[in-house]
Structure 1
Amino acid sequence: MGTTTGAVTALAEREWRERARRHERRVDALVADHLRRRREGERHPVEDFLFTYYNLKPSQLRRWHPGVGTVLLGEGAGDRLGERFYTELPDGGVGLDTAAFLAARRVVDFVERLLSAVADRPAHLGCFGLHEWAMVYRTDEVRHGQVPLRLGREGTDRVVESHRIRCSHFDAFRFFTEPARPLNTLQPTREAQADLDQPGCLHANMDLYKWAYKLAPAVPSELVVDCFELSREIRVLDMRASPYDLAAWGYEPVRIETAEGKAEYMAAQRGFAERGAVLRQRLLDVCAALRAG
């Protein structure tokens, strides 16, 4: 175990190299199928999403960082000095240059404000994933053209028209078709994101992964992968509850047009909200550690 002094943990070289190896093995297992498909020119409508919508490469996810408040000891730690935001510390060892990081990464202010606002709100669980349905409402240009609609064109439109849509997340709302936009009870904007995002939203919890890697290398890589894994599981629910028929890929639908499907969706959504709250607080703890220097 590393030695801890105040808010700083010092890791001997043997310890931090083992942590790095564990992290690399974990990521290798998570990205193996995606890399194979990429080599073979295949695409997966569910599992490849985190590598196309988000902009962190598998090689970047695999790179281990100890995070703010951790000092690497030993001769090998010096190799990190060639990487951005790493510095030799006055008391010895190599760690994050918090002043340089805060000066360069102004996104910390936005992320901290957004995550704090979301953490203080109750979770709304009644959206039933209708954002995906609104993205294909009254259009022939669907986002996943290789995947058929489970209820067909007219059936999909009827589901949208028979429900109250309350999508609060801008990065979902911006993909709504033009006819669907007026049907949403909210009109999210990027500027209002911190005012509207809420902890029950699937996309707000998926985006914990984005905020984690945008705060790298201040965020420990283990936390980035924890957020990645949650985001991947949420993506599965998002698509199972969508209007698409994913039977060919082995996914059973969550039929949100039925009472049973709605109950199944809300139960899963509640579980994701609870897990997201834990990860959100861990990211806020990183922000607090950065402020503390």
Structure 2
Amino acid sequence: MIEELAEPVWRARAAAHRSRMERWTLPHRERSRLREAHPVHDFLFTYYSLRPAQLEQWQPGPGVRLLGDAGEFPERLGYRPDGDGIVLDPALLPERVRRTAGFVHGLVASTAARPARYGCFGLHEWAMVYRTDRPRHDAVPLRLGSTGTDAVVESMQVTCTHHDAFRFFTAAARPLNALQPAREDQAELEQPGCLHATMDLYKWAYKLLPATPAELLGGCFALASEVRELDMRASPYDLAAHGYDPVRIETPAGRADYARAQQAFAERAAPLRTRLLALCAALSEPAAVPSCAPARTA
């Protein structure tokens, strides 16, 4: 079933999406202009590669007919006239989008089906600076110093399940992890309690552009931003100068706080995973073209 949007409606949605994303894109552009680094938020634009202008751009996704003057959309890949409007036709998208949709569907579905684990306590960030004199954020001091940081890693079990976090572990930290996550077993190891698996929903959403509904993309990005803040607050870095209080995972109270926040993020990520899976299905089987348009309040 096709959802029809009158021009005032979809233009209002486009303006609302842009305004929502400018909360992050405008400060990022200003920092870039001033050549100022931010140890928390730069990650959202450097590790994740979508440009700010692309993040701000609105698109309806499949299953939506835009009415009125939508002349700018046929210039984008996948759009075609349809009756008195235009639609995104998955059959017109590059083959890479369909292949990516198949991969993302498999990974996200297997992650969603696995029980969440809440016992890692963010030690991946500590393992990235374990026994090294070259921490990733060398302009930010370590809260407990090098010796204290190493002692925390050695006092707890490291149980990272995420390959793209594990690959940044120092050589000394890698043998301490209970698992050795590799790219080829990503779908067998990722689980919904992992902060990085939650943040990566944003990556999988933008990998499916131009087919991803902007509200889904924006929802994944907004959640990734909050998760990133927890990720760094629980890290060994002292971020007080940037306005962040630490989550002291070296203490029982801090670990309990981390696990509660981790569980809350996993619960908030679940509906985004469901919507992402629906999008992947729409792109993998374009003849069906089910509506995966998000609710108005994404």
Q: Distance in 1 between matches of 2:131 and 2:24?
A: 36
Given candidates 229, 232, 243, the residue that maps to 1:239 is 232
Alignment root-mean-square deviation, CA: 1.1
- Report whether the alignment pairs 1:166 with 2:159: yes
* Match in the other structure for 2:295: none
Work out whether residues 61 and 210 of structure 2, in 8 Å CA contact, stay in contact via their aligned partners in 1: yes
Given candidates 100, 111, 117, the residue that maps to 2:104 is 111
- Report whether the alignment pairs 1:15 with 2:14: no
- Report whether the alignment pairs 1:198 with 2:194: no
The percent of aligned pairs where both chains have the same amino acid is 59
Given candidates 168, 188, 194, the residue that maps to 1:175 is 168
Q: Distance in 1 between matches of 2:267 and 2:23?
A: 25
How far is the alpha carbon of 1:10 from its aligned partner? 1.2
Deviations 1:140-185 (A, max 9, x none): 0100000011111111111111111110000000000001111111
Given candidates 107, 110, 114, the residue that maps to 1:121 is 114
Unmatched segments (≥5 aa) in structure 2: 290-298
Work out whether residues 58 and 214 of structure 2, in 8 Å CA contact, stay in contact via their aligned partners in 1: yes
> Equivalences for 1:141-160 in 2 at 5 Å?
141-160=134-153
How far is the alpha carbon of 1:39 from its aligned partner? 1.1
Name the TM-score, length of structure 1 as normaliser: 0.95
Q: Once superposed, which parts of structure 1, at least 4 consecutive aligned residues long, lie more than 4 Å away?
A: none
Given candidates 75, 82, 88, the residue that maps to 1:96 is 88
Which structure has more relative contact order (CA 8 Å, sep 6+)? It is 2
Work out whether residues 102 and 108 of structure 1, in 8 Å CA contact, stay in contact via their aligned partners in 2: no
How far is the alpha carbon of 1:31 from its aligned partner? 1.8
Q: Distance in 1 between matches of 2:42 and 2:107?
A: 27
- Report whether the alignment pairs 1:213 with 2:203: no
How far is the alpha carbon of 1:102 from its aligned partner? 6.3
> Equivalences for 1:63-78 in 2 at 5 Å?
63-74=57-68, 76-78=69-71
Paired residue total: 285
How far is the alpha carbon of 1:83 from its aligned partner? 1.0
Work out whether residues 113 and 194 of structure 1, in 8 Å CA contact, stay in contact via their aligned partners in 2: yes
Q: Which amino acid aligns with 2:144?
A: L
* Match in the other structure for 1:3: none
Q: Distance in 2 between matches of 1:159 and 1:206?
A: 25
Name the TM-score, length of structure 2 as normaliser: 0.93
Unmatched segments (≥5 aa) in structure 1: 1-5
Q: Distance in 2 between matches of 1:104 and 1:260?
A: 46
Q: Distance in 1 between matches of 2:95 and 2:170?
A: 39
- Report whether the alignment pairs 1:58 with 2:49: no
